[in-house]
Amino acid sequence: MINGSMDPNGKIRYWGWRFELKYRLNWIQYHKMRAAIRPYMRTDYYTRVAPRNRYLVRSLYFDDYDHRAFLEKMDGDSDRVKFRLRTYSVSVSADSVVKVELKVRKGNAMIKHGSLVSLADLQDFLRKKHWPETDDPVLIEFERYLHLKSLQPQILIEYFREGFEDRAKSDLRVTFDHRVRSAHCAELFPSSPVFFRSH
């Protein structure tokens, strides 16, 4: 579920805490769940316009050398922050735009803060570890934590998302993420990543 909007400067603004629950489903469970929600939910816009009604989500996650963020997640720590870059494109182009995100979690509740940046600004940041002059609080915090925690890009995760929204127009959202795979990577658009599928 995304509670947010884009302002005229291209900054993503999210509001309110939301609850997020994740489950692993086998193929039969997926079809049963999908059939059960269909009377009450419909596919979202991005799903409807995507090939095969599933759109790509690709994220590059940052962590320190001890993989502390990963261990916090695996240990189920209630207070943690994820640092990631996100795109919905499989290949890079001149007008590629990337979302810089801080995902803050407290128990099952979470909130996201994000801003859009150009690919040129992102590549410059990854080289210099510093954004061009900005007053964007998301970019400032991302850079601060990068230096404070010695964060480095560690893993690239991508999948194809099938999203559903409530027909009654509440904030309820259900997504099915297909073909989840990951690669050890330091770039959002690597030339030849070696992906692994854990399940």
The C-alpha angle 182, 61, 155, rounded to 5 degrees, equals 35
Confidence at residue 184, expressed as pLDDT on a 0 to 100 scale: 92
What does the H/E/C string look like for the chain?
CCCEEECCCCCEEECCCEECCCCCCCHHHHHHHHHHHCCCEEECHHHHHCHHHCEEEEEEEEECCCCHHHHHHHHCCCEEEEEEEEECCCCCCCCCEEEEEEEEEECCEEEEEEEEEEHHHHHHHHHHCCCCCCCCHHHHHHHHHHHHCCCEEEEEEEEEEEEEEECCCCCCEEEEEEEEEEEECCCCCCCCCCCECCC
Confidence at residue 199, expressed as pLDDT on a 0 to 100 scale: 63
Residue pair 92/189 in contact by the 8 Å Cβ criterion: yes
Confidence at residue 1, expressed as pLDDT on a 0 to 100 scale: 34
Confidence at residue 91, expressed as pLDDT on a 0 to 100 scale: 79
Q: Tokens for 129?
A: 């570890």
Residues counted in the chain: 199
Q: Tokens for 153?
A: 């890009």
Confidence at residue 3, expressed as pLDDT on a 0 to 100 scale: 43
The predicted model scores a pTM of 0.85
Confidence at residue 150, expressed as pLDDT on a 0 to 100 scale: 93
Nearest to 173 by CA among 53, 22, 54, 35: 22
Confidence at residue 9, expressed as pLDDT on a 0 to 100 scale: 52
Per-residue pLDDT of the chain (199 residues; tens, 9 = 90+): 334 444 445 554 445 788 888 899 999 999 999 999 999 999 999 999 999 999 999 999 999 988 888 888 887 777 888 999 999 987 777 667 799 999 998 887 889 999 999 888 888 998 999 998 889 999 999 999 999 999 999 999 999 999 999 999 998 999 999 999 999 988 888 888 888 887 6
* Calpha distance 50→188 (Å, rounded): 21
